[in-house]
């Protein structure tokens, strides 16, 4: 839409033999008085032609006026061009949207670019928490939108199933298991995992294996416990995510990377590039050469790799798999670590620009206005499951993507529960449900769109009707903007606005009026198209679109 107008503007400039650069913009003005679209083309290019912006705009307006699609083209303010489209233009567009059905907004915009979206990637040492829930909603919505726009997105979860933290997990299970067999644990170590789920894991293991494990060597026993706990926790996380409507194409295991020797591969590449050195019995990476604030340890003096090495290896595999863009969705506590990761990628001779990092800010959980303090070690966490169970999948998904990724998210559980009727997600779903019941009424009144004559759309002359069509025309652009900026919250805002426009229209004008079947048909055509757009938007957000509420 905007593209079409841009093209017309460019053509008019060529015709008038004016100099221009095409970084001008075509926008939808806030104030309807300023027309349906406006452009700053004359403002930007006036200097180039040594003209007064208004004078230049005037010439352009006269040239553009000749086109049939424009009802009028006006010059306003310091030299804006304001376009008002003709009604018939909008009606043509409405037909286009209607015929596109569930595909409106879909395109090959992404040109099949392969996009890896890595998100959640929570440690397999406990149930998923609310931060993971935010990441899950974010990553999955991005995936759905990019998929819809003709990218080839790929969802991946990186499982840190090796290293220190899983050893601690095994020891934590061991202690709880011993408790079940009568051992008194005076003081549960502070670094161990304290959550109730550890006790559950021990009990489940005990039910399966009994006291048998006590006769294993300590090493074998811990290994057994580690594998058991990892498997169980993975199942738990998988279940939570599925309940949330989030799937992954791949779960990448750190353990597997280690077994396949990718760590060594990455290390050897770094050594070949002469980016490693030994100091104090440890192996270091010269990340400061690539802009990191200091060098980092790769191999600790005890001979074990730091967590950094598997991360380098993991990113190496991302590059080896040939993605055009790789997006890491990280929590805010990881931003200090990205410079060293990017340094490693540069040292490996890879294109660092293909890696993009999105930081999601914290989720502050409130209960009745009071902040809930969460601590994994102390076992005080609010899990993703608890949130979903309390507020429902639909509301939870909406809440978690409703905000800009870079802003903190305050989530009040009590409020989300008690005020669920004022919840924006219900407002949107209600619009969808209302249209379904209008459809029912239309059926009873024998008003339908069989053999619909599109000439009837001429009956749609209300301002509200034009505004609704305009809003739907915007939809594909909204989606493209979301894909470019990686900001799915714009879809939540858009859909909320669209639903609001419908509610206002609905309460002001009757859709079905048996005395005026022609107008009724035209309006039915409009709102059924609208309903489809709402349904597409909800689907992209992973939210259900009910016919009844």
Partner RNA sequence: GCGCCAAUAGCUCAGCUGGAUAGAGCAACGGAUUUCUAAUCCGUAGGUCAGGGGUUCGAAUCCCUUUUGGCGUGCCA
**Residue list 429-458, contact with RNA (CB under 7 A):** 430, 433-434, 436-438, 440-441
Instruction: For residue 152, count CB atoms less than 10 angstroms from its CB and return exposed for 0-12, middle for 13-18, buried for 19 or more.
Output: middle
The residue with tokens 């340094």 is: 343
Q: Which of residues 108-127 bind RNA (CB under 7 A)?
A: 123
Q: List the one residue from 56, 236, 409, 468 that touches RNA (CB under 7 A).
A: 409
x/- map, 263-282, RNA, by CB under 7 A = ----------------xxxx
Q: How far is CA 484 from CA 109, 149, 357, 493, in A?
A: 11, 11, 13, 17
Q: List the one residue from 7, 25, 96, 235 that touches RNA (CB under 7 A).
A: 25
Q: How far is CA 88 from CA 7, 94, 447, 469, in A?
A: 20, 10, 23, 12
Instruction: State yes or no: residue 418 binds RNA (CB under 7 A).
Output: no
Q: How far apart are the first and last CA of the chain?
A: 35
**Which residue lies nearer to RNA by CB, 359 or 452?**
359
Asked if 478 and 491 count as a contact pair (C-beta separation under 8 A), the reply is yes
Q: List the one residue from 206, 427, 449, 528 that touches RNA (CB under 7 A).
A: 427
Q: Which of residues 361-390 bind RNA (CB under 7 A)?
A: 361-362
Q: List the one residue from 11, 164, 371, 454 that touches RNA (CB under 7 A).
A: 164
Residue 357 β-bridge partners: 328
Whole-number Å distance between alpha carbons of 531 and 545: 10
Residue 277 β-bridge partners: 284
Q: Which of residues 42-81 bind RNA (CB under 7 A)?
A: 43-44, 47, 76-78, 80
Piece in contact with RNA (CB under 7 A), picked from 180-188, 200-208, 504-512, 529-537: 504-512
> How far apart are CB 335 and RNA at their closest, in Å?
4
Q: Which of residues 216-235 bind RNA (CB under 7 A)?
A: none
Instruction: State yes or no: residue 129 binds RNA (CB under 7 A).
Output: no
Total residues at the site for RNA (CB under 7 A)?
90
Whole-number Å distance between alpha carbons of 527 and 476: 18
**Which residue lies nearer to RNA by CB, 317 or 436?**
436
Asked if 521 and 431 count as a contact pair (C-beta separation under 8 A), the reply is no
Instruction: State yes or no: residue 91 binds RNA (CB under 7 A).
Output: no
Whole-number Å distance between alpha carbons of 517 and 512: 8
Q: List the one residue from 132, 160, 253, 287 that touches RNA (CB under 7 A).
A: 160
Instruction: State yes or no: residue 163 binds RNA (CB under 7 A).
Output: yes
For residue 142, which of 352, 388, 328 has the smallest C-alpha distance? 328
For residue 401, which of 533, 291, 489 has the smallest C-alpha distance? 489
Instruction: State yes or no: residue 245 binds RNA (CB under 7 A).
Output: no
Q: Residue 268, Cα to own-chain centre: how many angstroms? A: 36
Angle at 82 between CA 522 and CA 499, to 5 degrees: 40
Instruction: State yes or no: residue 40 binds RNA (CB under 7 A).
Output: yes
Q: List the one residue from 203, 214, 378, 549 that touches RNA (CB under 7 A).
A: 549
Q: Which of residues 517-546 bind RNA (CB under 7 A)?
A: none
**Which residue lies nearer to RNA by CB, 379 or 481?**
481
In the numeric block, which tokens belong to residue 422?
A: 């004022």
Q: List the one residue from 93, 290, 452, 506 that touches RNA (CB under 7 A).
A: 506
């Amino acid at each position: 839409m905007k593209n079409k107008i841009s093209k017309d503007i460019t053509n008019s400039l060529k015709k008038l033999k004016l100099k221009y650069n095409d970084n001008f913009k075509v926008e939808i003005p806030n104030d309807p008085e300023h027309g349906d679209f406006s452009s700053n083309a004359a403002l930007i290019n006036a200097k180039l032609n040594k003209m007064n912006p208004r004078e230049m705009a005037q010439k352009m307006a006269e040239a553009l006026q000749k086109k049939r699609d424009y009802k009028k083209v006006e010059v306003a303010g310091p030299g804006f061009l304001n376009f008002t489209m003709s009604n018939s233009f909008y009606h043509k567009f409405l037909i286009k949207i209607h015929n596109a059905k569930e595909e409106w907004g879909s395109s090959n915009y992404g040109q099949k670019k392969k996009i890896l979206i890595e998100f959640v990637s929570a440690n397999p040492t406990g149930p998923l928490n609310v931060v993971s829930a935010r990441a899950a909603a974010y990553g999955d919505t991005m995936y759905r939108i990019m998929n819809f726009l003709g990218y080839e997105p790929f969802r991946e979860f990186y499982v840190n199933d090796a290293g220190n933290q899983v050893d601690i997990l095994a020891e934590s299970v061991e202690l709880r298991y011993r408790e079940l067999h009568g051992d008194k644990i005076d003081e549960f170590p502070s670094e161990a995992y304290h959550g109730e789920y550890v006790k559950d894991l021990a009990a489940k293991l005990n039910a399966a294996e009994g006291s048998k494990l006590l006769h294993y060597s300590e090493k074998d026993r811990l290994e057994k416990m580690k594998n058991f706990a990892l498997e169980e926790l993975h199942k738990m996380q998988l279940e939570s995510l599925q309940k949330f409507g989030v799937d992954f194409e791949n779960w990448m295991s750190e353990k597997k990377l280690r077994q396949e020797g990718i760590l060594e591969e990455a290390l050897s590449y770094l050594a070949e590039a002469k980016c490693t050195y030994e100091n104090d019995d440890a192996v270091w990476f010269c990340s400061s050469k690539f802009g990191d604030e200091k060098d980092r340890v790769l191999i600790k003096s005890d001979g074990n790799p730091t967590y950094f090495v598997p991360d380098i290896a993991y990113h190496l595999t991302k590059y080896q798999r040939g993605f055009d863009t790789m997006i890491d969705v990280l929590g805010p506590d990881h931003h200090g670590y990205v410079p060293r990761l990017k340094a490693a990628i540069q040292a490996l001779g890879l294109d660092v620009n293909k890696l993009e990092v999105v930081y999601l800010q914290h989720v502050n959980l409130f209960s009745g206005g009071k902040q809930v303090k969460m601590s994994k070690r102390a076992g005080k966490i609010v899990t993703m499951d608890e949130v979903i169970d309390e507020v429902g999948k639909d509301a939870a998904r909406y809440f978690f993507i409703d905000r800009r990724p870079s802003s903190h998210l305050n989530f009040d559980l009590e409020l989300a529960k008690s005020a669920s009727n004022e919840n924006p997600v219900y407002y949107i779903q209600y619009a969808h449900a209302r249209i379904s019941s209008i459809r029912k009424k239309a059926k009873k009144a024998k008003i339908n769109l069989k053999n619909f004559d599109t000439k009837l759309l001429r009956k749609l002359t209300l301002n509200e009707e034009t505004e609704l069509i305009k809003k739907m025309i915007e939809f594909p652009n909204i989606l493209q903007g979301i894909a470019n900026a990686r900001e799915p919250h714009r879809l939540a805002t858009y859909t909320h606005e669209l639903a609001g426009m419908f509610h206002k229209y609905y309460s002001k004008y009757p859709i079905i009026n048996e005395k005026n079947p022609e107008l009724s048909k035209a309006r039915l055509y409009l709102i059924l198209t609208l309903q489809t757009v709402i349904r597409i938007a909800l689907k992209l957000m992973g939210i259900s679109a009910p016919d009844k509420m």
